[in-house]
Amino acid sequence: MDKVLDLARANSLWPVTFGLACCAIEMMSAAMSRFDIDRFGAGVFRPSPRQADLMIVSGTVTKKMAPVLLTLYDQMPSPKWVIAMGNCAISGGPFVFEGQYNLIEGVDKLIPVDVYVPGCPPRPEGLLEGFLKLEEKITGTRRFPGPVERW
Amino acid sequence: MVDKVQAELKSAFSDLTIHEESYPECGYHLSLDLAAGDLEKAARFFDDRRFYLAVELCVDYREYLEIVYIFSIHSSLCKVKVTLKIDPVNPVAPTLSKVFDCAWWYEREIHEFYGVRFDGHSDMTYLFLHDGIDVYPLRKEKVLVAEADRLELNSFSPEQREDSLSINMGPQHPSTHGVLRVVLRMDGEYIEDAYPVLGYLHRMQEKMAENRTYQQFLPNTGRMDYLGAMSYNLGYVTAVERLVGIDVPARAHYVRMIATELNRIASHLLWVGAYLADLGGLSPFLYAFDDRENLLDVLEAVTGSRLTYCYFRFGGLYNDVDDAFVAGTKAFVARMRGRFALYEKLVGGNVIFINRTRGIGVIERELARKCAVCGPVLRGAGIGMDFRKAEPYAAYAEMNFEIPTGRNGDALDMYHIRIREMETSLDIIDQSLARLSDGPFMVEKPPKKLKPRKGDLYHTVETPRGELGIYIVSDESDKPYRMKWRVPSFSNLMAFPELAKGNLLSDAVAILGSLDLVIPEIDR
Amino acid sequence: MEQILKILDIEGVRLAVGLLAVFLFVVVNALILTWAERKVAGHMQLRIGPKEVGPYGLIQPLADAMKLLGKEIITPRNVDKPIFYLGPIMIFIPVLVAFVVIPFDSYLQVRDINVGILVILAFSSFTVLSILMAGWGSNNKYSLIGSIRSIAQSVAYEIPLLLSLLAVIMMTNSLSLKDVVVAQKGIWFIFLQPVAFIIYFIAAVAETNRTPFDLPEAESELVAGYHTEYSGMMFALFFLAEYTNMFIVSAITVTFFLGGYQGPFLPGIVWFLLKSYFLVFVMMWFRWTFPRVRFDQLLNISWKALIPLSFINLLVTGGLLKL
């Protein structure tokens, strides 16, 4: 039963409509004609966090935004997953410098992150790969043959 | 125009010296240093002559703080820099918010970043920052926020009134395209008052600029306005080239223009889609993105990125374009010209769309001037101001193109203007492609280390959203002493509370969408 | 066979079997329609839609349903608990009742009540009640505004809805749905009552809160409208109800204007479903083509255009019948 549920969950990851910065545009691109994330059943962007399973943190998280992000995460019903999209969400990215005063250096300092998608911003293919990785994490099997490592 | 203003200034402020500046070097024609008492009089002087306050900013010179006002005018090219020196220990300045609406916002910004209090300002609460920051970030020395100041900064509480419903639109809201928060006071479905709260994406760009060399800061520009990254790139490199004095080869100019205009089309396409999505029609979004993807293919091949470009370098380009780029651009231009009919069918001719946007968010000329609104929003109000024509940079002076203007200043006009701007961009691309000749794409010896002259520069370019002003203060080192970005979305947002008042909630969404805001650009 | 029919004739059995069938149909219908909607949306938007989950993504809705079943049901703080929970359950009453009287075929009807249409219309007001309960119970401003919009909208659109159906009823002299279908043996009422058909269909789209009249859940304005605070299964119930409602209004349109289950060659039920799903497709087509109307425009369309028009239509119908 758990297996079936996991399979269902992995194939129906509804993300919450939550764009932060530049990466949000690439997130939108991933949902659009060419990349069409809906193929994997993940195209239902829900505006309300209560109906979503997945939060894509697409951009820089500032200290002012952090409480809002936490509320949103708390509002999501479990089981829930988080993809940290882009370098800003992973570690602060290009905006870390000595004396910075408004940056959360990595969203994993606030909420547990399942998949990291690096890039500044990551290409939509990168996000798709992130989705597949997350599915792999949930079900234990991979949908497509993975990317070939060339180096 | 400049001479006339100078003469009139002389007669109005007889005891002051008015400096004539070299416009190609500084970006402004006249400068004058005022005492606090004269400031409002000067503001009224410019207000009477239909000037607008392009930007108000502060520079920390350690011995004193200097508040800089740049006045500019829509009808011709005349820029005046007014400065006011204030004491850094107890900084107080008179407010201009009664004369120019946009000063109300800039002064709040200066207050939280520098600790300058403005006498007579009605609202000194946090705009970009928040309680967790206990210093004034842009001061050169570490200055703690005083207790009294902290209380004042924190005094904003939207729920204080019992008799009306206040709604938080944002920071996470489907229609704000990012993390803008607008507190709406509602009477049923009607908006009584709109109060934007900003800074949810404040990434300290201006502070960072002071910590980075000119070259190191270049990639940041593309991340400020991610939709018009090329325009920001171009603005920044042309500003620094102007400051240092680098002449760029002709080929680089044309390629820069082609890339920038392609990027402008991409930005407008995304706007068309996102705006329709705001109004509830999702499909045009995907059609616009389809075109955009085709365009990005062309740009990606030569720049290496899809969104946050960093293609221009001081003195030229990162790499040269090849024939494939030229062919790809030509193919895209041909395709795009055929697509406008489709958009007209899908969007422009739709009865529901027309009814939703006609007469909504009408921007009066006076409001446009007081808020220093810019770009397509300003042109929608009927003022044909475009910095590609007014202050040509790159090789825009050679280009022959129209500036589309609107008649009513409503959201429908903004739509048509943006569509027509895409067409003019295509024209510019065509002309640039025709002039593209062989030659170097980079100056012979690109400077390894930039050593600009001492002084300041106010440089403006036209981004897809409007007037981008870059104010750089240089102290002869390889890092900017102060860099202020006068961003178009911020000025356009300033008009929003006035436009939203008395309208329905759905209209507020339509108005907010028509302004084409990019939040990271506002928050910087 | 005869024995089965005999057993089915017993009132209680018939009702029980009918309800079970209806319940199954509601679920299956919603599953098919969610899949169809995403596919239709995809193809209208230059993309494919669900594809990887099962052949042509056919298992997609099943996965969605399973997932929603397995989700945590959050009860937000400060909600009005009984009302909050009753909302999504109540929304099913009109749905079930409507299925009881719709004739899927000449013999496939749970119960032929002689005031069938009256029953459907009377109970359809329950929908708005449950939306109000959901909006009020959620203790959320967006939900509240959404439900208030929904009430104004359904008050405005129920009138033209009724009036346009009344014109047909005047011609058939019967409130029984079966009689209405039988009366269309020669010619469909869409040809005799084209104005009523258009009015009814517009009002029906508005009643189901679909784009361009999806104001109660306007995404770009009200986040998710009245069901903003619902999660997991409770949200799935609203979803289910929305798609079932789409089918019901289409089914009523078919019954009243498109000849119901009648058609050549194929069995009645096939014709009925074909016609109904075609109308559902048209509604999806609307959704992925039009932007949303504004609230005051929405009310204007009803009060200033549809209602006067349907009155005129009624008068003309009456006059012609007298002649």
Residue B90 sits in a domain whose CATH number is: 3.30.460.80
Three-state DSSP class for A52? coil
Rounded-to-integer distance, Cα A98 and Cα B523, Å: 20
Residue to test with chain B: of A64, A74, A100, A125, most B Cβ within 10 A: A64
Q: Is B200–A22 a contact, with Cβ atoms under 8 angstroms apart?
A: no
pLDDT by residue for chain B (524 residues), tens only, comes to 778 878 887 887 777 777 878 888 888 888 888 887 888 888 888 888 888 888 888 888 888 888 888 888 888 888 888 888 888 888 888 888 888 888 888 888 888 888 888 888 888 888 888 887 888 888 888 888 887 777 777 777 766 566 667 777 766 666 556 778 888 888 777 888 888 888 888 888 888 888 888 888 888 888 888 888 888 888 898 888 888 888 888 888 888 888 888 898 988 988 888 888 888 777 888 888 888 888 888 888 888 888 888 888 888 888 888 888 888 888 888 888 888 888 888 887 788 888 888 888 888 888 888 888 888 888 888 888 888 888 888 888 888 888 888 888 888 888 888 888 888 988 888 888 888 888 888 877 777 777 788 888 888 888 888 888 899 888 888 888 888 888 888 888 888 888 888 888 888 888 888 888 888 888 88
Q: What is the 3-state secondary structure (H, E, C) of chain C?
A: CHHHHHHHHCHHHHHHHHHHHHHHHHHHHHHHHHHHHHHHHHHHCCCCCCCCCCHHHCCHHHHHHHHHHCCCCCCCCCCCHHHHHHHHHHCHHHHHHHHHHCCCCCCCCCCCCCCHHHHHHHHHHHHHHHHHHHHHHCCCHHHHHHHHHHHHHHHHHHHHHHHHHHHHHHHHCCCCHHHHHHHCCCCCHHHHCHHHHHHHHHHHHHHCCCCCCCHHHCHHHHCCHHHCCCCHHHHHHHHHHHHHHHHHHHHHHHHHHCCCCCCCCCCHHHHHHHHHHHHHHHHHHHHCCCCCCCHHHHHHHHHHHHHHHHHHHHHHHHHHHHC
The verdict on residue B172 lying in a domain is: no
Q: What is the pLDDT of residue B160?
A: 59
Cβ neighbors of C169 (< 8 A, separation 6 or more) are C117, C175, C180
Quote the minimal CA–CA distance from B356 to chain C in Å: 7
* A139 interface with C at CB cutoff 8 Å: no
- Cβ distance of B306 and A123 shorter than 8 Å: yes
Same domain for B133 and B270, yes or no, is: no
Find the CB nearest C221 among B287, B352, B509. Answer: B509
B416 touches chain A (CB under 8 A): no
Name the more confident of C6 and B17: B17
Report yes or no on C17 lying in a domain.
Answer: no
Q: How far is A11 from chain C (nearest CA, A)?
A: 6
How close does chain B come to C219, measured CA to CA in Å? 7
Quote the CA–CA distance of B190 and B164 in Å, as a whole number. Answer: 11
Those chains having 3 or more beta-carbon pairs within 8 angstroms of chain A are B, C
| Dihedral angle, C-alpha C126, C132, C133, C139, nearest 10 ° | 170
Pairs of residues, one from chain A and one from chain B, whose beta carbons lie less than 8 Å apart: 107
Model confidence at C219, pLDDT cuts 50, 70, 90, reads low
Does residue B216 belong to the interface with chain A, where contact is any CB pair within 8 Å? no
With an 8 Å Cβ cutoff, are A102 and B179 in contact? no
- Provide the pLDDT for residue B404: 87
3-state class (DSSP) for residue B147: helix
d(CA B352, CA B356): 6
Inside any domain, residue B174: no
B177 touches chain A (CB under 8 A): yes
Query: Do C72 and A32 count as a contact with CB atoms less than 8 A apart?
Result: no
**Are B118 and B127 a contacting pair, CB within 8 Å?**
no
- Chain A residue with CA closest to B310: the answer is A120
Q: Cβ contacts (< 8 Å) between B349 and chain C: which residues? A: none
DSSP assignment of B207-270 equals HHHHHS-HHHHHHHHHHHSSSSHHHHHHHHHHHHHHHHT-PPPHHHHHHHHHHHHHHHHHHHHH
Q: Which of B165, B353, B505 sits opposite C291 (nearest CB)?
A: B353
**Which residue is closest to B286 within chain C, CA to CA?**
C45
Total domain count, chain C? 1
Ramachandran angles phi, psi of A54, nearest 5°: -135, 135
Domain match, B239 and B121 both: no
Cβ–Cβ contacts within 10 Å for residue B139, how many? 17
**CA–CA separation, A19 vs A56, rounded Å?**
8
Instruction: List, as own/partner pairs, every contact residues A78-81 make where C-beta atoms lie below 8 angstroms and the sequence separation is at least 24, other chains included.
Output: A78/C71, A78/C72, A79/A9, A79/A53, A79/C70, A79/C71, A79/C72, A80/A52, A80/A53, A80/A54, A80/A55, A81/A13, A81/A53, A81/A54, A81/A55, A81/A114, A81/A115, A81/A134, A81/A138
Alpha carbon distance B514, B416 (integer Å): 11
pLDDT at res. C4? 65
Q: Are residues B236 and B143 in the same domain?
A: no
Same domain, B259 and B360: yes
Mean pLDDT of C292-306: 83
Q: For residue C291, which residues of chain B lie inside 8 Å, CB to CB?
A: 276, 279-281, 350, 352-353, 356
| Distance of alpha carbon C36 from alpha carbon C39, whole angstroms | 5
Chains B and C form CB pairs within 8 A to the count of 79
Residue B173 within any structural domain of the chain? no
Candidates A22, A26, A51: best to mutate against B (most CBs of B within 10 A) is A22
Contact C47 A7 (CB under 8 A): no
Q: Does residue C7 surpass a pLDDT of 70? A: no
Contact C62/A8, CB-based, under 8 Å? yes
Which site among B176, B186, B282 would you substitute to test the C interface, given the most C Cβ atoms closer than 10 Å to its Cβ? B282
Q: Is B174 on the interface with A (CB under 8 A)?
A: yes
Contacts of A43 (CB under 8 A, 6+ apart): A31, A36, A37, C38, C49, C50
- Residue closest to A88 by CA, chosen among A132, A22, A25, A29: A22
How many helical (H) and strand (E) elements, i.e. helices and strands, does chain B have?
20, 15
For A112, the token pair is 């547990």
Give mean pLDDT, residues C172-189: 78
The helix, strand and coil proportions of chain A, stated in percent and rounded to the nearest 5, come to 40, 15, 45
For residue B485, what is the domain's CATH number? 1.10.645.10
Distance from CA of C52 to the nearest CA of A (A): 6
Check whether residue B331 and residue B449 sit in a common domain: yes
Statement: the pTM of the whole predicted model exceeds 0.90: no
Tens-level pLDDT at each residue, chain A (151 residues): 777 778 778 888 888 888 888 888 888 888 887 888 888 777 778 888 888 888 888 888 888 888 888 888 888 888 888 988 888 888 888 888 887 888 888 888 888 998 898 888 888 888 888 888 888 888 887 777 766 766 6
Residues of A (46-105) whose Cβ lies below 8 Å from C: 46-48, 50-51, 53, 75, 77-79
Residues 40-59 of A with CB under 8 A from B: 47, 49, 59
Residue C10 is assigned to a structural domain of this protein: no
Same domain membership, residue B264 and residue B128? no
Q: What are the backbone angles phi and psi of residue A22, rounded to the nearest 5°?
A: -50, -45
Task: Kindly determine whether residue C67 and residue A36, on different chains, have CB atoms separated by under 8 Å.
Answer: no
Cβ of A94 within 8 Å of Cβ of B219? The answer is yes
Domain boundaries, position C176 = 75-322
Alpha carbon distances (Å) from C119 to A6, B274, C101, C123: 43, 43, 8, 6
Which residues of chain C have a CB within 8 Å of the CB of B181? Answer: none
Domain final residue, candidates B153, B175, B190: B153
pLDDT of B501 reads 85
Judge: C223–A47 Cβ closer than 8 Å, yes or no. Answer: yes
Does an H or E element contain B462, and which?
A: strand B455-463
Q: Does A11 touch chain B (CB under 8 A)?
A: no
C229 lies within 8 A of chain A by CB: yes
Q: How far is B489 from chain C (nearest CA, A)?
A: 20
pLDDT at B355: 83
Pairing mode of beta strands B190-197, B181-187: antiparallel
B410, part of any domain? yes
Q: Does residue C36 fall inside a structural domain?
A: no
Residues B138 and B260 in one domain: no
Task: Identify which of B130, B219, B308 has the shortest CB distance to residue A121.
Answer: B308
In a domain, C177, yes or no: yes
- Min CA distance, C87 vs chain B (Å)? 23
> Cβ separation of A79 and C70 shorter than 8 Å?
yes
Let me know if residue C37 belongs to a domain.
Answer: no
Task: Please report how many Cα atoms fall inside a 13 Å half-sphere around the Cα of residue B299, on the Cβ side.
Answer: 29
Per-residue pLDDT, C221: 67
Question: Is residue C196 a part of any domain in this protein?
Answer: yes
Structural domain ending residue among the three candidates B93, B119, B153: B153
Q: How many CB atoms lie within 10 A of CB C305?
A: 13
- Whether residues B356 and C293 touch (CB distance < 8 A) is answered with yes
Count of the separate structural domains present in chain B: 2
> Residue B185 forms beta bridges with which residues?
B166, B193
In this structure, are residues B298 and B257 in contact, taking their beta carbons and an 8 Å threshold? no
Query: In the block, which residue shows the tokens 């020395």?
Result: B141
Q: Is B172 in Cβ contact with A99 (below 8 Å)?
A: no
Sign of CA dihedral B67, B73, B79, B80: negative
Write down which residue in B153, B175, B207 finishes a domain: B153
The residue in chain B having the minimum alpha-carbon distance to the alpha carbon of residue A29 is B289
Residue-range definition of the domain harbouring residue B389: 229-523
Residue B213 lies in a domain: no
Q: Verify that B301 and B439 share a domain, yes or no.
A: yes
B39 shares its domain with B148: yes
Query: Is C135 inside a domain boundary?
Result: yes
Assigned domain for C200 exists: yes
